[in-house]
Each structure stands twice: as structure tokens, then as C-alpha cells.
Amino acid sequence: MSGTSLDGIDTALVDLSGDTPALLASHYQAYPPGIKDALLALHHPAPNELHQSQLISNELARAYAEATHALLKGAGVQADQVQAIGCHGQTVRHRPEHGYTIQLNNAALLAELTHIHVVSDFRSRDIAAGGQGAPLVPAFHALALRHATTHRAILNIGGIANLTDLPATDKVSGFDTGPGNLLMDAWIGKHLDLPYDKDGAWAASGKVIPALLARLLAEPFFTMAPPKSTGRDLFNVAWLERLLHGNESAADVQATLLALTVTSIADAVKRFCPGTKELYLCGGGAHNGTLAAHLQQALPRCHIQKTEALGIAADWMEAIAFAWLAQQTLHLRPANLPVVTGAKHPCVLGAIYPA
């Protein structure tokens, strides 16, 4: 899995033969220098972008293969023992309203380099059926984390934050709530040349600017009812800077961006997941203590903790989920939830590239 944060590759070796998924080994690999900047550039129209996107796809496939080899070597597992690689690819456009989404990856090259079947392009089939193509992980959450009597919700805080609502008896639902780490990472990168705000320390040093927060929250996406999904196409530095007056303290803007993430999540839980008793965090933002503390203040009736409490490490949730999605594809089983994505019907997701 390589998500909206563009920080690197999460690789998980997963045993799906039992009733619950078992994480056998994991490996994180940062992107090679230059890939993040190249990917960010491809989020916007530019000269020769088709050629550049194919070159980056090849480079990503090689990086994915390297991460796979490192994972298997560390686990003492041979390639022929692995059923398949589920590879999401790197999103550079997500425009379901126009009927497409683009996740860069040369899956054929990845199969060639690893000698393992590759399943990729998970989102396009759902979009073809009229859905958002996202989020896809709620189906896995429903399988692995739902409780028979307690109303739970799972919150993934990556570049974009998304919620899965798991009521004990009612229908599962899920949707993107808006920015997770994306804007905070971009802002601290611009001003302090750091990849992320560790534990929210810089945000904690500033003060929320109420007027700015109100302008940010006026974005129509936040009040839209699900199904809905979003990404860098909407939430990016240019979007933020259009709403700044230019004289704000950089630390205060960071505090306000953290408040935007917390407020949009809390509002979504209250509005669309009423009755939630337990909220479990995963993704990189789960380690932001300032964010978690503010979220607990905003949702005092929810017991909030990381998904480790449910037996799945917060850092590996999405990689494990895409292993499961790949297994569903190999068995030609539908894996989208139309109530989540808005698709007309359940679909078998993904394309298979044999080794």
C-alpha cells in the first residue's frame, strides 16, 4: 500500500487461511529520492505528463518489487509460496464524477520482477458500476472488526481520513471525511522542511484561527452526505492558500489544520455514525497524540484507541486489507460495498497480472 501521504510503501505478508487475517511479517520502505516530487507534479496538468506518468509507473513497480523482496527475505518465505500481491498503486487523479480514477503502477512489470501474480487497479470496476471507487477497505473492516453487540467505527487517518461505520445490527457504511494528514504534512514541509508534524507538536505550539477554520469548513464536501470520496484533486496547498489572508502565523495555521481534521471527523461521526461507542484509529495519523487527544475531547462519548486493541496494527491495516481484496479477486468474489461506494451492484474488483 502506498497512500495519499506519499511517504513510502507499506508491505505486509498476510495469511488469510484462517477465520481472521494473520500478519506474518511487515516491511516499510521509503520512496527513492525524487519520486514524491514527481508524483506531486503529476497531480496537476503539465507538459508531457503521459510520458512522465509511465516512467514513474515503471519506477514505482521497481520500488514495489524491491519492497516485496525485502519483506520475503526477512520472513524467510519464497516467492512461490505467495498466492498474489495486492498492489493499490499510487493515486494521482481521483475523479469518479468524471468516471475515472488513476493509480500509477506497472503491474505487469511488478509480476515480472517478483514472479508472483499481481492484482491491481481495484477501484475502476466500482466506478464503472456508478460508484466512487472508494473507500474499499470498509468491506474488510466489516469482515474482521465488527462486533456482535457494540457499535464500532474504524477511522483511518492517512493523507485523507476515512470512516467505516460498524453498527452491531444495521448496515455497514463508510466514506471519506476530508483531509487527514495531507494538509498538515504539506504545511510543515513548506515552512520547516519536515515530512510530518511528529505527535502534532508544531500544531500544539500554535493557536487555532477561528475565522480560518470557518472558511476551511465552508468547503461543500464536508456537508455532503455519503457516499463520497476525495483526495488531492480537491484538498491541496493551493486550496488552502486561497483561503489564507497571508498574515497568519505558520504555527497557527498548522493548529487550524489539525482542528480542521478533528472537526470534520467528529462532525462526520456525529452526523453519519450516530450511536458509535468505540472508535478505533489506524493509519499514520493514529500516532499523532495531539490529534487523538483533541478528537477524544470532540467525541467524549466514544472510547478511542488504536486498532492494536483489536489485534491489527494501525500501521498495517490498509496493506492487510489489500491482501484480502486481492484474495477476493482471485476467487472472483465481489469486494465492494455498494452502500459505501454508491455502485449499482456488488463487483469483482481488480485486474490480475499472472506471474
Secondary structure element (H or E) that encloses residue 307, with its range: none
pLDDT surpasses 90 at 146? yes
User: What does the pLDDT read at residue 193?
Assistant: 95
Does residue 120 register a pLDDT over 90?
A: yes
Per-residue pLDDT band at 6 (split at 50, 70, 90) = confident
Better-scored residue on pLDDT, 75 or 40:
75
**Residue-level pLDDT at 259:** 98
Cα 294 to chain centroid distance, Å, stands at 21
Instruction: For residues 323-333, give the mean pLDDT.
Output: 98
Mean pLDDT of the chain: 96
**pLDDT tops 90 at residue 40:** no
Could you report the per-residue pLDDT of 279-309, keeping only the tens digit for each? 999 999 999 999 999 999 999 999 999 999 9
Residue 249: is its pLDDT beyond 90? yes
pLDDT digits (tens, 9 = 90+) for 174-199: 999 999 999 999 999 999 999 999 99
CA distance linking residue 185 with residue 4, whole number of Å: 11
> Which pLDDT belongs to residue 44?
84
Which residue bears the cell 487523479? 93
pLDDT of residue 100: 96
Element (H or E) spanning 44, and its range? none
Q: Which tens digit of pLDDT belongs to each residue from 252-284?
A: 999 999 999 999 999 999 999 999 999 999 999
Query: Do 118 and 84 form a contact (C-beta atoms < 8 A)?
Result: yes
pLDDT value of position 7 = 81
Reported as a pLDDT band with limits 50, 70 and 90, residue 5 is: confident
pLDDT of 43 reads 86
Instruction: Give the bridge partners for 11, in sequence order.
Output: 27
The residue with cell 481534521 is: 261
Q: Helix (H, G, I), strand (E, B), or coil: what is residue 207?
A: coil
- The Cα–Cα gap between 278 and 321 comes to 20
Which of 243, 62, 229 is CA-nearest to residue 159? 229
Is the pLDDT assigned to residue 68 strictly greater than 90?
yes
Domains along the chain? Answer: 8-133+319-353 (3.30.420.40), 138-314 (3.30.420.40)
Question: Model's pTM, two decimal places?
Answer: 0.94
**From its phi and psi, is residue 168 left (phi > 0), alpha (psi between -120 and 50) or beta?**
alpha
For the chain, what percent of residues have pLDDT higher than 70? 100
Q: Confirm if 302 and 154 have CB atoms less than 8 A apart.
A: no
